[in-house]
Amino acid sequence: MNNHDIIASAENYYQTSPLNYISDEAAISPEYIGMKIFDSPIFAFGAADDEIYSELKSPEIIGEHFLTPTEFLPGAKSVISFFIPYTQRIRSSNALDYKWPSNEWMHGRIEGQAFGKALSVYIHDLLADAGYRSLVPLLDKRLKVGTEGNHFTSNWSERHVAFACGLGTFGLSKGIITKKGTCGRLGSVITELELQSSGRPYKETYEYCKMCGTCITHCPVHAITEEGKKNPPCSKFLDAVMKKHTPRYGCGKCQVNVPCESSIATI
């Protein structure tokens, strides 16, 4: 089994899974029944023992609580990172105003997250069936997510892992900008199978961000400045959305109608 086998199998799952469409039961209203959530995923592969993972333990980045791939899975050889971009319908709907997330976007956040987890499990099972121990950090019982001081943090970061694997760089809003843009969801799988590394086609943390500041103007609670994104205002807004739309939440205003929405910005 190699990189191509994994990508081809994942693409087939993407093409055939009913989870990539809003079901009758999940739809907020009938107009969303059958709505497609994601376009085709993209992948990047990295070495599980890449020195960058030790660097993420720095308090300036994530912190000592971050678990490296080999700490999650001793003997791991590779990390698989993927990005699944939202469809045009979801992206466009969320750019109609910058006060509250669209219903389409909240479907993408909740049902889309469920699809992302299912795709991770599918890749995990594919590897397991081939005889390779693998692990989905997002679903592992050791995953810890919470806040420390004013910062939201976790012992596994899909964004930092995507950067490490070569999938994309950070943007001013702290999202990852890939060749298919920043508007979508990330996932990852750790495996003992040794796969060819994609390499990082960039050198700087924000290399794909043009620092145009468009995302700053779109944030409904002014959580983004030229210095980056501040967590407390963002988290409080998400709490407000949850209160208004329970059990749904989301925002994504900094990801839509921006130069990096669906590609690496060229401006």
Q: What is the pLDDT of residues 130-155, one digit of tens each?
A: 999 999 999 999 999 876 655 667 99
Tell me the whole-structure pTM to 2 decimals: 0.95
In this predicted model, what pLDDT tens digit does every residue of 201-241 receive, in sequence order? Answer: 999 999 999 999 999 999 999 999 988 887 788 989 999 99
User: pLDDT tens-digit profile of 84-109?
Assistant: 999 999 999 999 999 999 999 999 99
Give residue 235's pLDDT.
Answer: 87
Mean pLDDT, residues 46-51: 98
**What is the per-residue pLDDT for 152?**
67
Considering only 192-196, 199-203, 230-234, 252-256, which range has the smallest mean pLDDT? 230-234
Q: What is the pLDDT of residue 172?
A: 95
What phi-psi label fits residue 81: left (phi over 0), alpha (psi between -120 and 50 degrees) or beta? Answer: beta
Q: How far is Cα of residue 3 from the mean position of the Cα atoms in its chain? A: 20
The Cα–Cα gap between 167 and 184 comes to 13
What pLDDT shows up at residue 231? 75
- Residue 212's pLDDT is what? 94
Q: How far apart, in whole angstroms, are the C-alpha atoms of residue 155 and residue 83? A: 20
The reported pLDDT for the residue numbered 214 is 96
Q: C-alpha 132: how far from its chain's center? A: 24
Whether residue 69 is preceded by a cis peptide bond, meaning omega within 30 degrees of 0, is no
What per-residue confidence (pLDDT) applies to 148? 61
Mean pLDDT (whole number) for 246-266: 93
